[in-house]
Structure 1
Amino acid sequence: MTRTSSYDPRTFDHRMAVFDADDAFAAAALPFLAEGLAAPGEPPPVAVAAPERLDQLRDALGGDARHVRLVPHADWYTGSAANAVAQLAGYLDARAGIDGRVHLLMEPDWAGRAGRSTRETAEWIRYEALANLLFAPTAATVLCAYDTRTAGAAIVGAARRAHPDTGGYEDPVVLAAELDAVAQGPPTAGAELLPRPYPAAVRARSAGHGLAPADAELFTEAVAAALASLGPVTGALLWGRAPAVVCELRTEGRVDDPLAGFVPPPGGELEPAQGLWFTRQVCAYVDVRDDSKGATVRLQYG
């Protein structure tokens, strides 16, 4: 099935800056923040970056620094890529101006979680791509800062495909589908076929795979939320060792939505009734793979 996007670059303004030295970072960041400071009706711009980068901005901005919100990126990016969607959505709802107007300079923590593995990096590139759809209704202006000294050439090359102001931009749906086309590994030895009801089986078995009781309960809620969103499920497997316990669900129908579980629900409370959104917020990874006979949805807790 061919999927198309409705991204309109005249609304959400998603930019990219690539640098390999501190002065090159300043050359990109300072004009952007000045643009935000001068934008009528906007709240103070925000800079989310490495602490040393924030110190550099503070010194360069001088007295204007008090009008810019400076946030260490480890304080903003506190979990998975899906958590980053929630963080940005919550900020736009609570602190942005009319229609989500605000300037945000954002540097993912490529020396931390975002760059710790090929798998994790792929999730963050997905986030960068889908942001063009998720935040298209807003008038936010975002500059994503990529330091080649920590991100590296491969990550920067992939990120160019997710930013409309680069020569390499591609439709977010196409890029997400490419990420989904990467083959998943098979279940590990000892994978268990779960009996119905699946949430009760997850609760009983995940503790045996090393999850603490509170974690087993939260994982069970995440699986139940996914089940409520997916329609008829024909089977479930569980495997792994804590914290990377995995539950794989097989559905009768395709999901056919690259944004499934990424669209922020109204209100700020996190509830299991929010379905796949809740699941993505709880789990480190949620992989949805459609095929001709339905879908395989793999949930990894940690």
Structure 2
Amino acid sequence: MTATTVRPTEAHSAFTHRMSAVGTDDAFLAAALPFLAEGIAAPDEPQPVAIADPAKLDLLRDALGPDAKAVGFVPHTEWYAGSAANAVARAAGHLAAHAGPGGRIHLLMEPVWGGRAGRSPRESAEWIRYEALANLLFAPAATTALCVYDTRSAGPAVIEAARRAHPDSDVYEDPLRLAAELDAVPLPPAPRDAARLTRPDAGAVRAWAERNGLPVADAELFGTAVAEAAVLGPVTGVTLWGEAPGCVCELALGRRVDDPLAGFVPPRDGDLAPGQGLWYARQVCAYVDLRPGDNGGTTVRLQYA
């Protein structure tokens, strides 16, 4: 399956995106068990999959008893192993490999709010953006997802923001509006002593990153990611700063890039390889931010980690 850009006004979404906030193990089971039973009973579907904290997976296995064999179990630390963009790739890959006709499958999903996803307001915002854009990215797929938010690890602000990203909530926001709101938060300015290049040359970026502490393999990835993002060009300026692992490159583009899904739609082959533009950059870097630039242009900021 290839994720397709679908605006809410263009088509009725086949994707069912639910949310449940729980505060106890009993509440988790009360939300999860009926959902998984629904998936087990659904025609033309493979087994439902539970992606959650390992301790919660143990609870599910015990509660399901013999029915546990009809459910797939994935520790959420394996599924959510990187950035929000990496989670898009993981979900698209799983649907392509395992979903039934039209993308039919039930997925119980719990992000790692006690880890990467909840480690900072910036990181939490990345995951809320992912939750919002999932409504567009996976709109054509007949997938049913239940996102579980445990109030013991996800704070009130995160849960309230997440409600705005799920259509079954009474405070649901249009994904484009919510993404724009998140992107309206100003980025810190580049330091005055930042380095500057005349063009986004992958070799020059790699050499700079090595001098600033990135291992050779990581510097190679970062340089390639910058070159891939530069395909959006024309590039009118390149600024570099920071030290490993948080090396940053900012590109000034001479044109406006307005698509909030730019770089989030998976390529058809699903593999990560140069030539995929902003998709490659998002998969390699922890953060890729697009903001309106000067004179109708766009600023693209890439941070490796």
Task: Give the TM-score taking structure 1 as reference length.
Answer: 0.96
The whole-number CA distance in structure 1 between the counterparts of 2:200 and 2:109 is: 43
| Cα shift at 1:200 | 2.7
Indicate which of 267, 281, 284 corresponds to 2:283: 281
Residue identity opposite 2:120 in structure 1:
S
Q: Secondary structure at the match of 1:264?
A: coil
1:103 alignment counterpart: 106
Shift in CA distance, 130/244, structure 1 to aligned 2, threshold 3 Å? same
Match of 2:243 in 1: 241
Q: Superposition pairs for residues 142-161 of structure 1, below 5 Å?
A: 142-161=145-164
After TM superposition, give the deviation of residue 188 of structure 1 in Å.
Answer: 2.6
Measure, in 2, the Cα distance between the counterparts of 1:127 and 1:75.
17
Which residue, out of 39, 50, 53, partners 1:50? 53
Q: CA deviation at 1:187?
A: 1.0
1:231, distance to aligned residue in structure 2 (A): 2.1
Whichever residue aligns with residue 288 of structure 2, its letter is V
1:209 aligns with 2:212: yes
Q: Distance in 2 between matches of 1:39 and 1:180?
A: 38
Distance between the aligned counterparts of 2:204 and 2:195, measured in 1? 10
Do the aligned partners of 2:20 and 2:149 also contact (CA within 8 Å) in 1?
yes
How far the C-alpha of 1:272 sits from its partner, in A, is 1.4
**Secondary structure of 1:25's partner?**
helix
**Code of the aligned partner of 2:241:** W
Task: Tell me how far apart the structure 1 counterparts of residues 292 and 47 of structure 2 sit (CA, whole Å).
Answer: 43
Q: How does 1:99-248 map to 2 (within 5 A)?
A: 99-196=102-199, 198-228=201-231, 230-248=232-250
Quote the Cα distance in structure 1 between the aligned partners of 2:121 and 2:182.
Answer: 11
Alpha-carbon offset, residue 10 of structure 1: 4.6
Q: Tell me the alpha carbon deviations over residues 164-197 of structure 1, each in whole angstroms, 9 at most, x when there is no partner.
A: 0001100000000000000110113421111335
**Residue from 57, 79, 83 that aligns with 1:80:** 83
- 1:206 Cα shift? 1.1
Residue identity in the other structure for 1:30 = L
State the TM-score, normalizing by the size of structure 2: 0.95
- Structure 2: any 5+ residue segments left out of the alignment? 1-6
Aligned residue number for residue 260 of structure 1: 262
Q: Distance in 2 between matches of 1:179 and 1:6?
A: 21
Aligned-partner Cα distance in 1 for 2:139–2:114: 28
Greater CA deviation, 287-296 or 146-155? 287-296
SS class of match (1:154): helix
Q: CA deviation at 1:277?
A: 0.3
How many corresponding residue pairs? Answer: 298
Conservation of the 8 A alpha-carbon contact between 1:198 and 1:236: no
Q: Structure 1: how far apart are the matches of 2:195 and 2:258?
A: 27
Q: Determine whether 1:19 maps to 2:22.
A: yes
Counterpart position of 2:70: 67
- Contact 2:13 2:140 (C-alpha < 8 Å) held by counterparts: no
Extract unaligned runs of 5+ from structure 1: none
Q: In the superposition, relative to structure 1, how do residues 7 and 159 fare at CA in structure 2: closer, same or farther (>3 Å)?
A: farther
Q: 1:50 to 1:8 in 2, by over 3 A?
A: farther
Structure 1 residue 288: Cα displacement = 0.3
Alpha-carbon distance in structure 2 between the residues aligned to 1:7 and 1:301? 35
Larger deviation: 258-267 or 284-293?
A: 284-293
Runs of 4 or more above 3 Å deviation: 4-10
- Asked if the contact 1:234/1:252 (under 8 Å) is kept, the reply is yes
1:82 maps to a residue whose letter is A
CA distance in 2: counterparts of 1:278 and 1:185, whole angstroms: 24
2:71 corresponds to which letter in structure 1? V
The one-letter code sitting in structure 1 at the alignment partner of 2:105 is: V
Letter in 2 for 1:132: N
Task: Supply the distance in 2 between the matched residues of 1:129 and 1:171 (Cα, whole angstroms).
Answer: 8
Larger mean Cα displacement after TM superposition, 166-175 or 286-295: 286-295
